[in-house]
């Protein structure tokens, strides 16, 4: 049992605002990975091209790179709850449109790409709205645990999402798969409408947006911890996480398994992240934020790079489970460090910049898709994960050196 000064999971969930935001996160996180795999499987069936799969998958993340920083500025002025609810309603409409097109037999890969762009635009607001609100519903000392629980549910959603996507696509088809997506987003809308949220808003002056963006970027560059988080995030989303875009061709061509088992392979890392998240919700993080962020990233990249070397399906899944433990540490510290170190007046902008860094994913997906066409999917993953490992190791060493020199303070660059 947790001591009085260390509230447990039940205490966190007893707070109505946190519980609703946590449930909304479970809904939208599951659909993020669910939609990606359904779109990848349909595109692979329709085109047979790994590059086409990469392009459709990249469309899901591209808006984060383009609009993430703007979302951060906008959400410091407008009501974050309203932005969040409107975004999820838009995603529900997009999924409903794809489901209808598929039911009529008109669906094409470009329709999936267009729907992915809409969903990606919705996702570009996630960090500056829901994720920020999660960190602000609890006392500062409980932020890491609250975000760990939120990350835990995200990992569980990533685990269930791909498995459900593969099974539904295989046995029910594209129309049913996207109908389920629509219903889940509508559930998120209903939860959001009942959320109690107070925020001091202000008039959004579009002429000030460039200045606000510049101020947020200058602050991030001058703060060692925030600059370190953003640097590692860029590398992970450019060279680490895009491996998921090639799981469909690897599952079919290397392991020779059906879509349902491809969903299991896609969910393996998420299962590891779920296990890692369980540990993080039980108490204070075991180590410094820097060690967890960098060490978790290195573990994930190492396991992803080694996975295609294995000739057997289930050992490959087990290796990705281990990598997922590293993902949990990375994901938890990624948001926790920003929320704890960024002042309230620039916090949404910092979270918006984090969204932009996460938005490096589509560039990585396109890079990995091109490498897959030239070298094959397995060699492409080896090269990307190996390069990412070296870059994260270098960033972590530089961060540690500045900490030892006493420079890890606001106002000091990485």
Task: Check residue 2 and give its pLDDT.
Answer: 42
How many domains does the structure of the chain reveal? 1
Is the separation of the CB atoms in 372 and 380 below 8 Å? yes
Task: Check residue 413 and give its pLDDT.
Answer: 37
| Residue 410 included in any domain | no
Give the domain extent around 373.
Answer: 11-199+207-404
pLDDT per residue of the chain (414 residues) written in tens, 0 to 9: 344 344 556 666 666 788 888 889 888 888 877 888 888 889 888 887 767 887 887 787 777 777 766 776 677 777 788 888 988 999 999 999 999 999 999 999 899 989 988 888 887 788 778 887 877 777 776 677 777 777 777 767 767 777 788 888 888 889 999 999 999 999 999 998 888 777 665 665 555 556 666 776 777 777 778 888 999 999 998 899 888 878 878 888 788 888 778 878 887 887 888 888 777 776 666 667 788 899 999 999 999 999 888 888 999 999 999 999 999 889 878 877 887 777 777 777 777 777 778 777 778 877 888 888 888 888 889 899 999 999 999 998 988 887 777 654 443 433
| Residue 346 included in any domain | yes
Task: Check residue 188 and give its pLDDT.
Answer: 92
- Give the CATH number, domain containing residue 128: 1.20.1250.20
| Residue 3 included in any domain | no
| Residue 338 included in any domain | yes
**What is the rounded distance in angstroms from the CA atom of residue 378 to the CA atom of residue 246?**
9
| Residue 288 included in any domain | yes
Is the separation of the CB atoms in 237 and 360 below 8 Å? yes
| Residue 216 included in any domain | yes
| Residue 409 included in any domain | no
**What is the rounded distance in angstroms from the CA atom of residue 27 to the CA atom of residue 11?**
21
| Residue 242 included in any domain | yes
């Amino acid at each position: 049992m947790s001591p009085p000064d260390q509230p447990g999971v039940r205490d966190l969930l007893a707070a109505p605002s946190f519980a609703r935001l946590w449930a909304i996160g479970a809904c939208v996180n599951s659909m993020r990975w669910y939609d990606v795999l359904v779109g990848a499987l349909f595109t692979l069936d329709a085109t047979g091209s790994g590059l086409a799969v990469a392009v459709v998958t990249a469309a899901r993340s591209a808006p984060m790179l383009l609009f993430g920083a703007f979302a951060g500025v906008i959400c410091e002025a407008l009501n974050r709850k309203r932005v969040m609810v409107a975004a999820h309603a838009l995603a529900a409409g997009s999924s409903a449109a794809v489901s209808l097109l598929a039911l009529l037999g008109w669906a094409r890969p470009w329709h999936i790409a267009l729907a992915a762009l809409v969903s990606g635009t919705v996702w570009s607001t996630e960090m500056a709205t829901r994720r920020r609100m999660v960190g602000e519903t609890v006392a500062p000392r409980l932020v890491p645990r609250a975000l760990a629980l939120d990350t835990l549910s995200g990992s569980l959603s990533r685990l269930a999402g791909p498995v459900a996507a593969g099974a539904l696509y295989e046995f029910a088809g594209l129309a049913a798969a996207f109908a389920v997506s629509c219903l889940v987003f509508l559930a998120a809308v209903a939860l959001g409408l009942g959320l109690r949220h107070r925020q001091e808003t202000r008039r959004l002056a579009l002429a000030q947006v460039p200045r606000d963006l510049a101020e947020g970027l200058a602050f991030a560059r001058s703060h060692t911890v925030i600059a370190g988080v953003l640097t590692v995030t860029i590398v992970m989303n450019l060279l680490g996480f895009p491996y998921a875009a090639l799981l469909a061709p690897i599952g079919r061509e290397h392991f020779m398994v059906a879509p349902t088992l491809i969903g299991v392979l896609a969910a393996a890392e998420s299962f590891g992240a779920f296990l890692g998240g369980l540990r993080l919700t039980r108490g204070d993080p075991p180590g410094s934020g820097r060690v967890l962020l960098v060490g978790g990233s290195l573990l994930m990249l190492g396991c992803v790079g080694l996975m295609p070397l294995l000739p057997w399906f289930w050992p490959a899944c087990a290796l990705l489970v281990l990598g997922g433990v590293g993902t949990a540490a990375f994901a938890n510290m990624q948001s926790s460090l920003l929320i704890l170190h960024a002042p309230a007046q620039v916090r949404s902008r910092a979270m918006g910049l984090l969204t932009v860094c996460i938005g490096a994913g589509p560039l990585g997906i396109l890079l990995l898709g091109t490498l897959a066409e030239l070298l094959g999917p397995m060699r492409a993953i080896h090269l990307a994960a190996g390069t990412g490992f070296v870059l994260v190791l270098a960033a972590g060493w530089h961060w540690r050196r500045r900490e030892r020199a006493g420079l890890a303070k606001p106002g000091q660059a990485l």
